[in-house]
Structure 1
Amino acid sequence: MTVTAHPRAAATERVAVRCVDSDVHPTPRRGELAEYLPEPWRSNYFGTHPVGDQIYYDAPDYAHAYAMRVDSFPPDGEFAGSSPDLAFKQLIMEAGADIAILEPASYSARLPGANTAMCSALNDWQANHWLDGHNNWHERWRGSICANIEEPEAAAREIEKWAGHDYMAQVLIKAEPRPSWGNPKYDPLWAAATKHDITVSCHLSRGHFEELPFPPVGLPSYNHDFMVTYSLLAANQVMSLVFDGTFERFPTLRIVFVEHAFTWILPLMWRMDAIYERRKQWMQITRKPSEIVKDHIKFTTQPLDYPEDKTELGRAFEWMECEKILLYSSDYPHWTFDDPRWLVKHLPEYAREQVMFRNGIQTYHLPETVPALEGQVRVF
């Protein structure tokens, strides 16, 4: 029998983008990252620190499926999210996402140099294993330029290296480092991002200073404390960015908080506006904090805080002007996966298109059309 291999090629027909997923987690297969890690970090640090030994997480079914969708593990025995083809089938063809923003796991290290080395390796790995012509033939994957915020100059160099790549859509950093983001120490990173007009996103992660975020009252006791603490961490960074004048220094800077929840931003904006009215003569900012947030900061929808009375969520959506600040996200392949066909039903009708795809297209400078895929589920 003769077998003919046909190269993967995108269709000439194009369809409108109707779902942008802002939070998808690709995972390297065993051994893939090693070739991209520079020495001595490859041998002396990461080669002696198995990732699983440092994980603190007691999510449902963690012992069995590592808090991942059970069906997202590929048949070859590799980890969930390691197969571009399976992710394409489940997320693009079956769930209906048109473009997905890839955010690799953080692989946190205690040493800034090790974090910088890992960021560089993850960028090379994405380019060669997800964004290449073989795996991104359909033009649906968009990568993240992983940047170590602890070393702002090194982060800026990484942005300069990758900002011209056709499929790198954002810069990806962590929220934990001290001091907070409003400190001028980080200006080289913001300057590089705004120079190339590329969005900066922060996905919740374990960082350099603590294996868990460190609130003022001390380390949390349980995973449920830990998950709530991430929102508090993001709130502090929002205040720092606003009150320390970061957006005054970089008026085109765009920040996305990924998986930090979002319902807390409404009372925080109220509180910041109240303080601003009383103390604005001493501040570095010239606009109400709520206006700055709505112009410069966005949040992803997952996790969705869902009260028993849905009308309460509807009021919160309206008051915070969710159509301006929310981006749809699925968190694939985690167990917390939010299917876009489910999520869209819980959004106010007036905000659905903005949240599900228009904000994503604008935030990440994405195309408005993609190659058509026969048999793909469509959210709209």
Structure 2
Amino acid sequence: MTLAHEQQRAPAPQRVAVRVVDSDVHPVPRPRELVEYIPEPHRSAYFRSHKVGDTIIYDAPDYAHSFAMRTDTFPTDGGFPGSDPELALQQLIIDAGSDIAILEPTVKATRLPEATAAMATGVNTWLANHWLDPQNNRHERWRGSICVAIDDPDSAVREIEAWAEHPFMAQVLIKAEPRPSWGDPRYDPVWAAAVRHNLPVSCHLGRGAYETMPMPPVGFPSYNHDFMVTYSLLAANQVMSMIFDGVFERFPTMRVVFVEHAFTWILPLMWRMDAIYAARKSFTGLRRKPSDYVKEHIRFTTQPLDYPEDKIELTRAFEWMEAERILLFSSDYPHWTFDDPRWLLKHLPENARERVMFRNGLETYHLPETVPALDGQARVF
């Protein structure tokens, strides 16, 4: 009997139902692991010519010690949190009970779109080789993001085309800062490529660089905590731009995920947009209320979960915004703001729990309903 026959007769691994889809997990390269993947000439002319230093503007608790990370997520080999796939598997999948995690690596945004594009190319190749490879993804729990430079649409399309058929790439990942806003037709080739390959477009908050940093209409904020609030305002402007500038009319199957931009603000924004639509319907060119576009095309991750002192008010907000349609669970691992899925579950209305924790994720990212079983894994449901 040949080896092929032996393999055919081997029992299939036991599989379990997916009950938690984590939409925001941050893998990080080990030292010197990424640089060789960045294509020339930008590897040498741009990234290696810059001095290494701490450029993060962040005032998280104990930042000087833990760099805004969970203190228990530092690998024993001295690496940075998120650099060890096996430790992440233990803490996030086995201990916390997530079943599938959407990996969202950071792409250093630069003033030069072509340099940002080169970094995105390097990050995508690194992610495929160090997290989505047969060894590190043998358990089929990791799903990757195709990182692109949204301010360089031509390169973004090339990157999507290069990785769209990878079996474990689940979305296109962009930043929200570039101007003009996303309703501008210059971005249409990016949306068209994502739609062509049936990939959602995810936007993770970022800092950008120089004039690409998020800036409210009145100018730059004074403090870091101002910036943290600014991200929600930035997302609100992108939501309005995509709806009123007709992106979802041009791309009726497009899906957009806002990651770490909070979400409770979407309720009053929907009210306001619907009111304007009612008053000026004939001028908008829209066929439906703006809130309908939000509920069909846009999703938000649960972390950060902002809530009032009276939790009953949060429950009402969940019901009014139809949270069961627009929210995706996220943990933000390995950051200090990590939300354990078992903790988050308790804050959701009972009728929304399955939708938010896994069903919306399965549908948004086109994920399998089962994954290989892992010994000792905690189960949230």
Alignment TM-score, normalising by the size of structure 2:
0.96
C-alpha distance in 2 between matches for 1:375 and 1:64 = 32
Cα distance, 1:212 vs structure 2:
3.5
Q: Secondary structure of 2:188's match?
A: helix
Cα distance between partner residues in 2 of 1:329 and 1:198: 19
Whether the 8 Å CA contact 1:204–1:260 is kept in 2: the answer is yes
State the number of aligned residues: 372
Q: Distance in 2 between matches of 1:203 and 1:10?
A: 41
Counterpart in 1 of 2:216? Answer: 215
Q: How does 1:1-380 map to 2 (within 5 A)?
A: 12-50=13-51, 52-208=53-209, 210=211, 212-380=213-381
Aligned-residue offset at 1:220: 1.0
Determine the C-alpha separation between the residues in 2 that align with 1:51 and 1:362: 41
Query: 1: CA distance between counterparts of 2:199 and 2:37?
Result: 24
* CA spacing shift, 1:10–1:220, aligned 2, 3 Å: farther
* 1:284 CA displacement: 2.2
Determine helix, strand or coil for the equivalent of 1:375: coil
Q: Is the CA contact 2:107–2:123 (under 8 Å) kept in the aligned structure 1?
A: no
Deviation at 1:109, TM superposition (A): 1.3
Does the 8 Å contact 1:96/1:378 carry over to 2?
yes
Contact kept, 8 Å, 2:111 with 2:212, in 1: the verdict is no
* Deviation of the 1:121 alpha carbon: 0.4
2:54 partner SS: helix
Q: Distance in 2 between matches of 1:219 and 1:185?
A: 26
- TM-score normalized by the length of structure 1: 0.96
One-letter amino acid of the structure 1 residue matched with residue 310 of structure 2: D
Could you tell me how far apart the structure 2 residues matched to 1:137 and 1:205 are? 31
Residues in 1 aligned to 2:206 and 2:250: alpha-carbon distance in whole angstroms: 27
Q: Which amino acid aligns with 1:60?
A: P
Contact 2:177–2:213 (Cα < 8 Å) also in 1: no
- The 3-state SS of whatever aligns with 2:78 is coil
Identity %: 73
SS at match of 1:87: helix
Q: Aligned equivalents of 1:323 and 1:152: distance in 2?
A: 33
Partners of 2:46 and 2:19 lie apart in 1 by 43
Cα shift readout 1:230-278 (whole Å, capped 9, x = no counterpart): 0000000000000000000000000000000000000000000000011
C-alpha distance in structure 1 between counterparts of 2:102 and 2:54, whole Å: 28
User: Which stretch shifts more, 122-131 or 279-288?
Assistant: 279-288
Structure 1 residue matching 2:79: 3-state secondary structure: coil
Superposed CA deviations along residues 67-111 of structure 1, whole A, max 9, x for unmatched, are: 000110100101110000000000000000000000001212111
Aligned equivalents of 2:76, 2:212: Cα separation in 1: 32
d(CA) in 2 for partners of 1:334 and 1:56? 15
Alignment deviations for residues 145-180 of structure 1 (CA, whole Å, 9 cap, x no partner): 001100111101110110000000000000011100
SS of alignment partner, residue 54 of structure 1: coil
**Paired residue secondary structure (1:22):** strand
Unaligned runs of 5+ in 2: 1-9
- Does the CA-based 8 Å contact 1:112-1:208 persist in structure 2? no
Asked if structure 1 preserves the Cα contact closer than 8 Å seen for 2:149 and 2:174, the reply is: yes
RMSD: 1.3
Kept after mapping to 2: 8 A contact 1:106/1:206: no
Q: Partners in 1 of 2:188 and 2:68 — Cα distance?
A: 36
| Displacement after TM superposition at 1:294 (Å) | 0.2
Alpha carbons 1:23, 1:258 under 8 Å: kept: yes
